[in-house]
Amino acid sequence: MRIGLFYQIQVPKPWTPASESQRIYEALEQIPYAEQQGFESVWFSEHHFRPVWSHNSAPDLTLAAVSQRTSTIRLGIGVVLAPIHHPLHVAARMATLDILSRGRVDVGLGRTGYPYQITPYGADLQDTRGMWQEFAELLPRIWTQEEISYDGAYYKIPRREVLPKPLQHPHPPLWSACGSDETARQTGSLRMGGLFGSEGGPDRVRELMALYQEALATAPGDRTGPAPRAALMTAGYCHEDPDIVARRGTELVGWYIEQQRERARLVWRDYDT
């Protein structure tokens, strides 16, 4: 088993003028120490317009800073919100980050189930799944082909040479957030790594994992990239004193669950359901 860290850059209230910057710099101090203790990876989410829950809307920039303070820990984005980005832009930024980190980047893709955070960017809510799949199929081609041209349902790319290319060969590992049955199946069929959350409990994780593994087992083997893996995100608290873990950990997990409820209340804010 490989153990990693997952950061949202949460900033509880009450805020001070230094609250946000302090949290970011705390993460930058923690991660080199985690690397020394044997943590295999660190992941940063991408969220927008979500006070308290996540103040890290540019995870690639944060990870660029991490890359200059570490040497072995892998750097993951979990996940790039495909509906508000263009594959060419993401491909170039991730390749640059892969070079800066000397080949340590993992790239997660997602759609988001929260229109509240993507509609201000002009995202079309009608078919985010199709857009996500086309995005996932395009990235390896952009990274591995000398020139790329593409005429798809969502993206039109005239013949271009997209630079820079990533350091990892043939390209950085691709992952996807697996929050629904269909996404778990699609992720497996595309031979991407699966990122699973623990909010639904162990039984739900097993269901999604089974769908992912079934699709992965029957997926065509012509996709490029490293062999896919699965990862589970769950809340935890690290401390040497088990009594402090029991007391403080319970408090923090309770706060985390309450923030999940608040996030759910934002799903369709400003939209008729």
The fraction of the chain above a pLDDT of 70, given in percent, is 96
Q: Chain centroid to CA 193: how far? A: 11
So what's the pLDDT on residue 273?
Answer: 44
Band (271; pLDDT cuts 50, 70, 90): low
Quick: pLDDT tens for 178-223: 999 999 999 999 999 999 998 889 999 999 999 999 999 999 876 6
* Domain boundaries defined on the chain: 4-265
So what's the pLDDT on residue 226?
Answer: 78
User: For the chain, what is the HEC assignment?
Assistant: CCCEEEECCCCCCCCCCCHHHHHHHHHHHHHHHHHHCCCCEEEECCCCCECCCECCCCHHHHHHHHHCCCCCCEEEEEEEEHHHCCHHHHHHHHHHHHHHCCCCEEEEEECCCCHHHCHHHCCCCCCHHHHHHHHHHHHHHHHHCCCEEEECCCCEEEEECCCCCCCCCCCCCEEEECCCHHHHHHHHHCCCEEEEECCCCHHHHHHHHHHHHHHHHCCCCCCCCCCCCEEEECCCCCCCCHHHHHHHHHHHHHHHHHHHHHHHHCCCCCCCC
So what's the pLDDT on residue 57?
Answer: 95
So what's the pLDDT on residue 253?
Answer: 82
Which CATH code, of 3.40.630.30, 3.20.20.30, 3.30.565.10, 3.40.50.2020, is assigned to 4-265?
3.20.20.30
* Burial group, residue 68, by CB count within 10 angstroms (0-12, 13-18, 19+): exposed
Prediction pTM value: 0.92
